[in-house]
Chains A and B, each alone.
Chain A
């Protein structure tokens, strides 16, 4: 099975909150990330959380980490049409001073006006 799993699609109405979920398998994960990919563009690092944290908030973004269940979520408040993109969850483990993320397949967020 895959190391990082995400649902493939999420559809929400503009102004609602979006919650994108992710599960991972490696309990020794050090950092967990959310990346955003817009059409024709590279992956943009949205936010990350260190494994000893439960929550991180950054403006409209809230990341929740349940280390016991190996579950990570990204909540986007007041979702806008500009938030439509593919969101990738990733985990990384420290190896020789570097952190190599393992990515999920991405969740396509579709925001309806």
Chain B
């Protein structure tokens, strides 16, 4: 596609459930990034990949959060045993090489 695509756009789930958020980057972009954005804040870095290799996961809040990009294209961010504090907008971006292009995000609400 022309831009970064994220799905679902909205996800509402009960506390304790696992969720998987998907990102389809711009074709040919090597780097893919995940961010979390709370209301009234700028995006906060979580992790990024070059091709299929996870280069930096220092921003992941704890071990309930994980991400993969097995074939160097589509990426999945997984949150296990969700908690209310995980509620936020989760944004994906891809770049080639220094300017990031963002998707519209997934709004995650944990009840």
Residues of B with Cβ closer than 8 Å to A? 4, 31, 33, 40-45, 48, 50, 55-56, 91, 93, 95, 97-105
- Per the bound structure, the CA–CA distance linking A70 and B9 in Å amounts to 37
Give chain B residues whose Cβ lies under 8 Å from the Cβ of A99. Answer: 95, 97-98, 100
Give chain A residues whose Cβ lies under 8 Å from the Cβ of B104. Answer: 40-42
Known interface pairs A98-B55, A105-B42, A106-B42; A42-B91 also in contact (CB < 8 Å): yes
> From DSSP, what is the main secondary structure of chain B's interface residues?
strand
Interface residue total, chain A, C-beta cutoff 8 A: 28
* 25 contacts across the A-B interface (CB closer than 8 A): A30-B98, A35-B102, A40-B104, A41-B104, A42-B91, A42-B102, A42-B104, A43-B43, A43-B91, A43-B93, A45-B99, A45-B101, A45-B102, A90-B42, A92-B98, A96-B50, A97-B50, A98-B31, A98-B55, A98-B97, A100-B48, A103-B43, A105-B42, A106-B40, A106-B42
The 6 tightest CB contacts between A and B, nearest first, are A103-B42, A43-B102, A42-B102, A42-B104, A99-B98, A103-B43
Q: How many A-B residue pairs have CB under 8 A?
A: 63
Give chain A residues whose Cβ lies under 8 Å from the Cβ of B50. Answer: 96-98
Beyond contacts A43-B43, A98-B55: 16 other A-B pairs, Cβ-Cβ < 8 A, are A33-B99, A40-B104, A41-B104, A42-B103, A43-B102, A44-B102, A88-B43, A96-B55, A97-B97, A98-B97, A99-B97, A100-B33, A100-B56, A102-B45, A103-B43, A105-B41
